[in-house]
């Protein structure tokens, strides 16, 4: 009987979820022409049928996370006895003619509800009511299911290259039986035996082991031994509430201005983040001249081509962002130089670093002393238009998770010639999110002007007032 354990990386996301909900996902906007009936009611039954027919391509969406208990090893993936799509695929109607701010406000409310651990850990919400017959989309899942790059493959399971693509009929599915106690114990013993074998191999090959340790030292030094970031108002524990804002840019023009500065699209995202932080801290009356703010940048350890669409396989690097008054072009070049150097460092996975709970606690305390309060990340999405149940996916923005004192996350996804950015912020720690968005937009516009692009990148932020 097969036992499917969570990887160390997936277990890390599960442990963090006890304190900070570790669901990630995406906010999308669909052309609702094919989704609405003549009375503008959403055809939810047809949507559930279309999504249900694709669940076999996303097996984790049919599974639960089960903790077997003492002497049976760590958490395992098991098939749910049943998957009720009435719970997972749902409707949250917006007032007719709603705008983007109302959509984001509704997503904030939906996201505040914890995922039900007794069911597969995902939800897909459709939000009709936007102007021009558009329909909002909010999909989320427990981070243990998939990280950022795997998420693109996960979402692709439900998407088609055209509106009239052949849709599979729902295949019959019978959940696999859960592993017995004996199977769990045997699997645990086998796992420990393999661990002892690996340890023996390290002892027999000391030179290779020392090389591995030596290669990991620069990454640990970068994360733990570098000068801590400055004490700012961003350095506070993340609360339960979130705020979202979105920005848009035209991908070819961002690529053009990146090339003009000897940088990458990821570097441009970091420069925009620096511009946003400069504006935000300045508006709060905090110093920015000579200040460098360190940010986390996830590093995927997956191969570029192929690979699984499940779980987590990531590391991270820390990049300092200069906020001083220098010209944006110079700031982008400094950021690009910094990331080039840091990309040469060998990085173990986060699951490897935090495999031991005891070591993990020590590491978390050390990380906390570094005062890193911002994260960024970019993944590559479909290069051509895609469709969900026959509806054109017009836009899609990635939603990041926040944890500890990292209260601001800037995620980007390239899709169909656009770079679509979602800022996720701690509601209590960043009620002035619009100031950050304006600063990021302004930084992008200045970079575009300096690069001499034929037309300024399309960048528009959308926020809404905080709740009273």
Q: Bigger pLDDT: 215 or 69?
A: 69
Tell me if 309 is assigned to some domain: yes
Whether the pLDDT of residue 199 is over 70: the answer is: no
Structure pTM? 0.88
Whether the pLDDT of residue 361 is over 60: the answer is: no
Average pLDDT over residues 137-165: 91
Same structural domain, 107 and 237: no
Whether the pLDDT of residue 243 is over 70: the answer is: yes
Tell me if 460 is assigned to some domain: no
Tell me if 90 is assigned to some domain: yes
- Band of the pLDDT at 70, cuts 50, 70, 90? confident
Domain span including residue 329: 220-382+393-451
Which tokens sit at 254?
A: 């961002």
Same structural domain, 343 and 443: yes
**Cβ burial, residue 13 (10 Å; 0-12/13-18/19+):** buried
Average pLDDT over residues 18-33: 93
Tell me if 196 is assigned to some domain: no
User: What pLDDT score does 381 carry?
Assistant: 94
User: What pLDDT score does 7 carry?
Assistant: 84
Q: How many domains does the chain have?
A: 2
Residue 369 in contact with residue 401, Cβ under 8 Å?
no
Kind and range of the H or E run holding 90: strand 89-91
Share above pLDDT 70 across residues of the chain, in percent, rounded to a whole number: 82
Residue 226 in contact with residue 317, Cβ under 8 Å?
no
Q: How far does the chain reach from its first CA to its final CA, in angstroms?
A: 55
Whether the pLDDT of residue 408 is over 70: the answer is: yes
Whether the pLDDT of residue 74 is over 70: the answer is: yes
Same structural domain, 277 and 416: yes
Whether the pLDDT of residue 111 is over 60: the answer is: yes
Q: Bigger pLDDT: 133 or 221?
A: 133
Closest CA to 357 of 18, 86, 55: 18
CA distance linking residue 310 with residue 148, whole number of Å: 10
CA distance linking residue 43 with residue 435, whole number of Å: 39
Same structural domain, 125 and 262: no
CATH number at residue 292: 3.30.559.30
Q: Bigger pLDDT: 168 or 289?
A: 289
Kind and range of the H or E run holding 217: helix 206-220
**Least confident range of 21-30, 213-222, 316-325:** 213-222
User: What pLDDT score does 220 carry?
Assistant: 59
The tens digit of pLDDT for each residue in 374-394 reads 999 999 999 999 999 999 999
User: What pLDDT score does 224 carry?
Assistant: 58
Same structural domain, 278 and 374: yes
Average pLDDT of the chain, as a whole number = 86
Whether the pLDDT of residue 208 is over 80: the answer is: no
Same structural domain, 131 and 259: no
Average pLDDT over residues 450-466: 56
Closest CA to 269 of 298, 243, 304, 242: 298
User: What pLDDT score does 467 carry?
Assistant: 44
Same structural domain, 125 and 273: no
Closest CA to 5 of 83, 72, 80, 81: 72
Tell me if 46 is assigned to some domain: yes
Kind and range of the H or E run holding 26: strand 23-31
Same structural domain, 28 and 140: yes
CA distance linking residue 346 with residue 358, whole number of Å: 24
- Band of the pLDDT at 356, cuts 50, 70, 90? low
For 287-341, the DSSP string reads --TT-EEEEEEEEE-S-SSS--SSB--EEEEEEEEE-SSS-HHHHHHHHHHHHHH
CB within 8 A of 346, min separation 6: which ones?
Answer: 215, 216, 218, 219
Average pLDDT over residues 144-153: 86
Average pLDDT over residues 14-43: 91
Same structural domain, 120 and 262: no
User: What pLDDT score does 9 carry?
Assistant: 81
Q: Bigger pLDDT: 128 or 456?
A: 128
- Band of the pLDDT at 205, cuts 50, 70, 90? low
**Least confident range of 41-50, 340-349, 417-426:** 340-349
- Residue at which a domain ends, from 156, 180, 207: 156
- Residue at which a domain ends, from 104, 123, 156: 156
Tell me if 62 is assigned to some domain: yes
**Least confident range of 72-76, 188-192, 203-207:** 203-207
- Band of the pLDDT at 455, cuts 50, 70, 90? very low
User: What pLDDT score does 468 carry?
Assistant: 38
Average pLDDT over residues 166-171: 76
- Band of the pLDDT at 370, cuts 50, 70, 90? low
Burial 434-468 (b: 16+ CB within 10 A, else e): bbbbbbbbbbbbbbbebbebeebbebebbbbeeee
Tell me if 77 is assigned to some domain: yes
Tell me if 211 is assigned to some domain: no
User: What pLDDT score does 314 carry?
Assistant: 74
Question: Given the structure tokens 């009273």, which residue do they identify?
Answer: 468
Which tokens sit at 336?
A: 């690009």
CA distance linking residue 25 with residue 210, whole number of Å: 39
The tens digit of pLDDT for each residue in 266-286 reads 999 999 999 999 999 999 999
Report the chain's C-alpha Rg in angstroms.
Answer: 23
- Residue at which a domain ends, from 135, 156, 177: 156
| Torsion 118-122-128-129 (CA) sign | positive
CA distance linking residue 11 with residue 142, whole number of Å: 11
User: What pLDDT score does 170 carry?
Assistant: 75
Same structural domain, 367 and 228: yes
Sort residue 63 into left (φ over 0), alpha (ψ -120 to 50) or beta: beta
User: What pLDDT score does 334 carry?
Assistant: 94
CATH number at residue 118: 3.30.559.10
- Band of the pLDDT at 25, cuts 50, 70, 90? very high
- Cα separations (Å) of 404 from 195, 373, 401, 426? 31, 9, 10, 11
Same structural domain, 13 and 91: yes
Same structural domain, 276 and 409: yes
Whether the pLDDT of residue 323 is over 50: the answer is: yes
């Amino acid at each position: 009987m097969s036992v499917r354990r969570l990887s160390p990386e997936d277990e890390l996301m599960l442990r963090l979820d006890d304190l900070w909900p570790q669901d990630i996902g995406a906010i999308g906007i669909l052309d609702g022409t094919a989704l609405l009936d003549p009375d503008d009611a959403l055809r939810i039954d047809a949507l559930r049928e279309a999504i249900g027919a694709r669940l076999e391509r996303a097996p984790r969406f049919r599974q639960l996370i089960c903790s077997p208990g003492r002497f049976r090893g760590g958490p395992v993936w098991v098939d749910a006895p049943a998957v009720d799509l009435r719970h997972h695929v749902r409707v949250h109607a917006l007032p007719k003619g709603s705008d983007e701010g109302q959509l984001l406000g509704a997503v904030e409310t939906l996201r505040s509800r914890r995922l039900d651990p007794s069911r597969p850990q995902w939800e897909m919400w459709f939000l009709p009511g936007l102007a021009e017959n558009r329909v909002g989309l909010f999909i989320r899942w427990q981070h243990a299911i998939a990280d950022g790059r795997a998420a693109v493959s996960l979402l692709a399971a439900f998407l088609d290259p055209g509106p009239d693509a052949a849709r599979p009929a729902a295949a019959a599915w019978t959940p696999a039986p859960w592993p017995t106690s004996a199977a769990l114990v045997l699997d645990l013993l086998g796992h420990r035996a393999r661990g002892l074998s690996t340890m023996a191999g390290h002892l027999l090959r000391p030179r290779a082991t020392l090389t591995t340790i030596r290669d990991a030292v620069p990454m640990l030094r970068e994360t733990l031994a570098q000068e801590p970031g400055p004490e700012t108002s961003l350095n506070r524990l993340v609360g339960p509430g979130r705020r979202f804002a979105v920005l848009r840019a035209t991908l070819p023009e961002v690529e053009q201005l990146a090339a003009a500065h000897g940088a990458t699209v990821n570097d441009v995202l970091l420069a925009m983040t620096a511009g946003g932080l400069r504006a935000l801290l300045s508006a709060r009356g905090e110093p920015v001249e000579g200040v460098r703010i360190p940010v986390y940048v996830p590093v995927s350890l997956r191969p570029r081509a192929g690979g699984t669409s499940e779980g987590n396989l990531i590391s991270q690097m820390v990049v300092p962002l200069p906020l001083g008054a220098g010209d944006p072009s110079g700031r982008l070049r400094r950021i690009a130089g910094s990331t080039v150097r840091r990309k040469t460092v060998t990085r173990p996975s986060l699951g490897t670093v935090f495999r031991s709970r005891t070591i993990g606690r020590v590491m978390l305390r050390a990380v906390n002393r570094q005062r890193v309060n911002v994260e960024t990340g970019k993944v590559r999405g479909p290069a051509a238009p895609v469709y969900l149940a026959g509806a054109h996916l017009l836009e899609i923005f990635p939603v990041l998770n926040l944890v500890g004192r990292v209260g601001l996350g800037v995620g980007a996804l390239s899709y169909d010639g656009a770079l679509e950015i979602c800022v996720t912020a701690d509601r209590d720690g960043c009620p002035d999110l619009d100031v950050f968005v304006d600063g990021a937009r302004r930084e992008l516009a200045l970079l575009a002007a300096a690069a001499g692009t034929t037309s300024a990148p399309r960048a528009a932020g959308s926020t809404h007032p905080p709740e009273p």
